[in-house]
Structures are given as C-alpha cells and as structure tokens.
Amino acid sequence: MAISEKTSVDQKRAESEDYVEYAERKGSTTVTEVDDMSAIEATAASKAAWLISITISLGGFLFGYDTGYISSVLVTIGTSLGHKLSTSEQELVTSLTSGGALLGAVFAGLIADRFGRKWPIWCACAVFIIGTVLQTAAFSVAQFAVGRFVVGLGVGSAAMICPLYIGEIAPAKYRGRMISFNNMSVTFGQLVASAIGAGLATVKGEGWRGTVGIGAFPAIGLAIMLLFCPESPRQLVAHGRLELADTVLLKIYQTSTREQRQAKIRSIEMSIQEATSSLIQESLWVSFKRIFTTASTARAVAVACITMAISQLGGFNTLMYYSSTLFAIVGFSNATAVGITVSATNFAFSILNLVLVDKFGRRFLLLISVLGMSICMLIAAVAFHYIPIDLATLTVESDNVGWPGVLVLVTIIIYVGFYSTGVATIAWIGTELIPLEVRALGTMLNTVTCWSTNIIIASTFLSMMKGITPSGAFGFYCGICFVGWLFVVFCYPDVKGMPLETIREVFNHGFGLRYSKQWQREHKHEKKVVQQSFGH
C-alpha cells in the first residue's frame, strides 16, 4: 500500500512537471486550461470553509482589540504605574505596539512557508496572552511598555498571516468577502475594546486592568479552535503532503470529484513553481533591486506603498489611539464613551466599503474619500482655534467649550466615515498592483510602510499638539491628505475588473491612467469573467 501511494504521488508530480514545462514553452496558460484546473470552484462550497474563515478572523479581532483599548486606558490609568504618565510616556506605550507589530510581521513572514499557516497563528496567540498578562499585572511604566511591545508582536503576526490563511483556504467565489470579513473583525475588535473601556472606566479602582485582561480570552479561544482547523492546502502541497491536501479540499468542496481535486492540486503545484522560479535563478538581493531598477515595477510598488502611507499619515490612527484623550481635551466629561463613536463609525463604514469597492472601483473611492478626509481635517483645525487649551498640559481652560467642541466631534465622525469607506481597505488591496515575481517583497515593503508610518503617528501626535497647537497638528494632517489626493488624481489607475496580467501591463504605460481608462471603456459591456492567477 505504501509503494502504491508513493507511486501515485510520483505520478502526480510528473504530471505537474510536464504541465509546467508545457506552459513555459507556450509562454502563458490558456483560459481553457485555467478553467479545467479550476473546475472545482464551480462546485458548492461547504459550511466548513465559512467556519474556518470565521475562526481565523478571531486573529483580526485580536488585532483590533489590542490596538483599540489603549485609547480608553490612557485616560483611566491615572497613577497605577507609579505616577501620572507624561506625554512622552503615553506616546511611548502607544507606539511600542506598532514597533512590535513591524517585527512580528517580518517574523511571521519568515516562518510561514516553512512551518505552515497554523503555527505562526499559535505563536501570535501565545504572545498575545503573555503581553496581556504583563500589562494587566504592571505597576511600572517599564513593565507596561514591555507588555505593549510583546502584544505588538502578536498584532503584526496576526495582521499578516490570518488574511493569507483565509485567502488560501477560501473558495474563489467567496474569497473577497471572507478576507474582508477578517478586516471587519479588526474594526469590530476596536469597537468592542472601546465599549469595554468606556464601561470599566466608571468602575472604582483600576478598571483599566480588566479592559486589558479581557484581551487574553479571544486568544485562548482562537488557539483552541485552531486545533480543529486544517492546514492550508497550498502549504500541504508545498510540503509534498498531497493526500492530506486532497482531504482538506474535500472538506471545503464536499460535492467535488477526485479528478477536480487532483486538478486543483496540480494548479497549486504550478503556482508554487511560478512563484519560486525567479528565486531559484537569482538571489533575494537581485530580486529586491529589480523593484527599483525596473521602471514599471517601481511604479507599481510605489503606488501601493504611497497609498498605504496616506492611510497611516492622514491622521486616522491619532483618533484610534488617542480618541478618548482628544475628546477629553475638547471638554467632553465622559471622553471614553464619546470615543466609542470613532470605533463604531469605523466598523459601520467598513461594511459599506464591501458593497462599493467592486462596484465603483478603487480610484473613485480614493478620490472621494481622501478629499473628504482633507476637508474634515481643515474644519477640525479651524474649530480647534476657538477652543481654549493649555498647551503645557493639553487640558481645556473653559467649563463650556460650546459649538467648537461639538463641531470637532461631528467632523471627526465624518472623517472616519470617509476613511473607512475608502483608503482604509484599499491600502491593503493595493498589493494587486504588484507583479508576481516581486509580489512577496513588494508586500513586505507595503507592510513595512504601514507599521513604520504608524509608529511615526503614534509617537508624535501629543508632541505635535503641544508644539504647533491642535490647529497646527490637524492642519498638518489636512495637508498630508490633500497631497495624497493629488497623488491619487495623477498616479492611481482604475483597475476594477482587470485580470492580473492586464494590471501588470498598466504600469508599462507610465502610471497607466489613460491605458486603464481605455481598457475599462473597451470592456464595459463584456460579461464579467473572474480570472485569477495560480495561487490567488
């Protein structure tokens, strides 16, 4: 029996190698061949696929919760760590999570292909729990800061691995919605953190410890439920475990035939060959240099990374990390409760994005949302001019702020609505612009851009409020958003409905605005055909 199984595996590998050689001789894979190898996608997807994606989305919830509770903790922690936190200490404990996330994402990326998708998630759960315990039991700034950094390692790992795992386990028909559900889980986690923080803010004593400590329970739940989830079929094929990959595919596509599953396995083998062939022929450094020495590739990666930078530098994370602090500054007595509006708006409009992004396209949503963000920041900057604030302590000097405080609140809510509808999600979708041969490195640069700019915002907001006044700080974010809008106007092409091969061609025509617009006109009346690259 063992010899028979080995022979079967060898035959499958030989078939795959023959097919790869055939595809390479032709230079491309025909649509008919792709359809034959993806026929399994036409079969009904099981409930198991949805249950797996929902389970893994707990990682997104953890990401959101652990980045969301700091807002309420900063205004309720008082002297629990030995003294009242200074502005620099607040920025430190806030930005350390982003620093940890940057390292966590790199670490997860290094071990994901070698050890599969589940082990990095288990590691993330472990560091979530350790970081939570360190913070909950902290009586010094140093211990609390270490706990924030450790939690950041888990945040970065979860942010990178969970969408990747879901994308590889999900049927093509539902892949977009399943990955977007993970993004919604992030915003939902932030909303829950804000709500719990506001509720425990009224508890006598040190209620903030409860807000932090609760974050360990979803991590424990995810670690346990992950035991019942299968490994990604792509990872199983990559490690030669073809029979187990067939079993997992049967679990996801319960009505599929063995022939359909074997065809899917062959397509996965081809995707692995396609993704790694360039790395076999050249070093990682040569591949990295290609990003900057090939003009079309450089433009594609630049557009993705700059869009990500706009999403972080435009000011949103100042609201996520410091919303309660900010609303306390403008005179609201229960700032943590008011801060919930930011998380709730973020969650609600992330749902709206799911409805609009494929219907109206990325460019249209970016043009509307980034301009709207700039206008909102301008209005907030003007409103802050009429609020008397002691810059030394960042406290309001009046018992009745009046209309400027209300205007700041309303403007911020509208700003978050624009942000969540557009650039928040599109910044992550931007990796579709990056050519396959450098997509892993390009995605890494996109992730590094996210967390490095996040660190800048988290570590400078309060200092900017003191140094250049709140009006100056929000005016600065207004300028960032406006420059970002100009970038979208002149550099971000509309790639709605384009197959990846066509997107690749876009940046051979400068930034491809005219080329992509012409393509949209020519294909406007065609039936929508879903074409996906192997491995996507």
- What number is the average pLDDT over the span 32-46? 55
Question: Does 178 score more than 50 pLDDT?
Answer: yes
Instruction: Kindly report the number of other CB atoms within 10 A of residue 349's CB atom.
Output: 21
Record the tokens describing residue 16, joined without a space. 């795959």
Contact 503, 296 (CB under 8 A): no
Query: In this prediction, what percent of the chain has a pLDDT beyond 90?
Result: 19
Quickly count helices (H) and strands (E) in the chain: 24, 2
Q: What element of type H or E holds 396? A: strand 395-396
Q: Please say if the pLDDT value at position 38 is more than 60.
A: no
* Superfamily the domain 282-536 falls into: MFS general substrate transporter like domains (1.20.1250.20)
d(CA 293, CA 286): 10
Confidence check: pLDDT of 438 > 80 = no
404 versus 129: the higher-pLDDT residue is 129
Stronger pLDDT, 519 or 302, i.e. the higher one: 302
State the pLDDT at residue 25.
Answer: 41
Q: DSSP assignment of 447-464, as one string? A: HHHHHHHHHHHHHHHHHH
Look-up: residue for tokens 């006598």? 204
Higher-scoring residue by pLDDT: 121, 536: 121
Of 165-179, 210-224, 231-245, 478-492, the least confident: 165-179
Q: Is the pLDDT of residue 58 over 70?
A: yes
pLDDT at 130 over 80: yes
Over residues 198-223, mean pLDDT: 87
What does the buried/exposed string (b/e) look like for 457-481 if buried means 16 or more CB atoms within 10 Å of the residue's CB? bbbbbbebbbeebbbebbbbbbebb
- The b/e string for 274-299 (b: 16+ C-beta within 10 A; e otherwise) is bbeeeeeeeeeeebeebbeebebbeb
Given this model, what pLDDT does residue 3 score? 42
Chain centroid to Cα 47, Å, comes to 25
Q: Give the per-residue pLDDT at 168.
A: 76
> Does 264 score more than 90 pLDDT?
no
* Mean pLDDT for all residues in the chain: 79
At 318, give phi and psi (nearest 5°): -65, -35
Q: Does the pLDDT value for residue 383 go beyond 50?
A: yes
For range 18-31, the mean pLDDT: 42
In this model, does residue 1 exceed pLDDT 50? Answer: no
pLDDT surpasses 90 at 451? no
455, pLDDT greater than 90: no
Are the C-beta atoms of 84 and 359 separated by less than 8 Å? no
Question: What's the rounded mean pLDDT across residues 213-222?
Answer: 92
Instruction: Kindly report the pTM of this predicted structure.
Output: 0.71
Is the pLDDT score of 433 beyond 70?
yes
What gap in Å lies between CA 454 and CA 287, rounded to an integer? 27
- 44-229: CATH topology: Growth Hormone; Chain: A; (1.20.1250)
More confident residue, 512 or 481: 481
Instruction: Please name every residue paired with 390 in a beta bridge, in sequence order, or none if there are none.
Output: 395
Maximum mean pLDDT: which of 28-32, 118-122, 277-281, 528-532? 118-122
Which pLDDT belongs to residue 440? 63
Q: Among 99-108, 319-328, 449-458, which stretch is predicted with the lowest mean pLDDT?
A: 319-328
Does the pLDDT value for residue 277 go beyond 80?
Answer: no
Contact indicator for 108, 149 with CB cutoff of 8 Å? no
Domain ranges for the chain? 44-229, 282-536
Q: How many angstroms separate the CA atoms of 475 and 365, rounded?
A: 23
pLDDT at 284: 62
Question: Can you give the pLDDT at residue 371?
Answer: 96
User: Residue 534's pLDDT is what?
Assistant: 33
Residue 148 has what pLDDT? 93
Choose between 147 and 254: higher pLDDT.
Answer: 147
Q: What are phi and psi of 395, to 5 degrees?
A: -125, 145
pLDDT at 182 (0 to 100): 80
**30: pLDDT strictly greater than 70:** no
Can you tell me which residue has the tokens 């209620």?
207
Is the per-residue pLDDT at 423 higher than 50? Answer: yes
- Which pLDDT score, from 0 to 100, does residue 370 have? 95
The pLDDT of residue 377: 93
Which pLDDT belongs to residue 179?
Answer: 72
In percent, the amount of the chain with pLDDT more than 70 equals: 80
